[in-house]
Amino acid sequence: MRVGLFVTCLIDLMRPEIGFSVIKLIERAGFEVVVPPAQTCCGQPAYNSGDRRLARDLADKTLREFEQFDYVVVPSGSCGGMIRAHYADLFRDDPELTGRLARLRPRVFELTEFLADVAKVSLEAIGFEGSVTYHDACSGLRELGVKAQPRALLAQAGVAVTEMTSCEHCCGFGGTFAVKYGNISTAIVDEKCDNIRASGANAVVLGDLGCMLNIEGRLRRTGDTTTRVLHIAQVLAGDV
């Protein structure tokens, strides 16, 4: 079966190696991976900023590029949440687009959701040294219900997870929120970094690159050069 990989803007521009880890995991699960070359943004920044026309155009484009696949996998809770939870709002006045979205939506999955619930993978231990703590990104948790899947996959891979205090609390990124409300965002991410360090884990693992860049940036700016910040795809693929 064919999986359309929605790479996401941040992975494409900032950490393309994560995309290759994602492809490796999906192919190991027995699926053919296709990356539509013309894909761009899911429309979330425009949507969150109130530019519905641009957001709708990008959503329409995304729908056209991915509705051909058996599944669509997104290594980001925020982009996956945009497609599954918010495209319906953008298309609400267009019955044709609403119908097409209704057919695509059940085939759109966040990465760990796809691996655990659809592919039902059985992973081998990867020999990861030390323990990790897991950050639950807001959109993946609250819009897609991703919580148990990443932890179950890490356990399969033999990776010890030490839960941090307030693992479900926001990291302060929130896309354009971090730009508009920098002081509030910084206070939120400082609390997150304190909780990561207090867990005693060697690394924090997560499933959304926006959170990853925000947390890693703050850790480094406050002098923490040792705590690793890793996307779960990198860990599960053995690419760390």
**pLDDT by 10s per residue, the chain, length 240:** 999 999 999 999 999 999 999 999 999 999 999 999 999 999 999 999 999 999 999 999 999 999 999 999 999 999 999 999 999 999 999 999 999 999 999 999 999 999 999 999 999 999 998 899 999 999 999 999 999 999 999 999 999 999 999 999 999 998 888 888 889 999 999 999 999 999 999 999 999 999 999 999 999 999 999 999 999 999 999 998
167, 140 Cβ separation under 8 angstroms? no
Residue whose C-alpha is closest to residue 71's, from 115, 20, 37, 41: 115
- The SS3 assignment for 64 reads helix
CA distance 8 to 150: 19
Residues 6+ apart with CB under 8 A from 56: 43, 90, 91
State pTM to two decimals.
0.95
Which residue's structure tokens are 């409300």?
A: 181
Residue whose C-alpha is closest to residue 146's, from 73, 69, 81: 81
Q: Name residue 92's amino acid.
A: R
Domain boundaries, the chain: 2-118, 131-236
Alpha-helical regions (H) of the chain: 9-13, 16-28, 44-48, 52-66, 77-81, 87-90, 95-104, 111-113, 138-144, 148-156, 177-180, 182-199, 209-221, 232-236
- For CA atoms 229, 231, 233, 239, the dihedral sign is negative
Which residue's structure tokens are 């959701």?
A: 113
Architecture of domain 131-236: 3-Layer(aba) Sandwich (3.40)
CA distance 149 to 229: 19
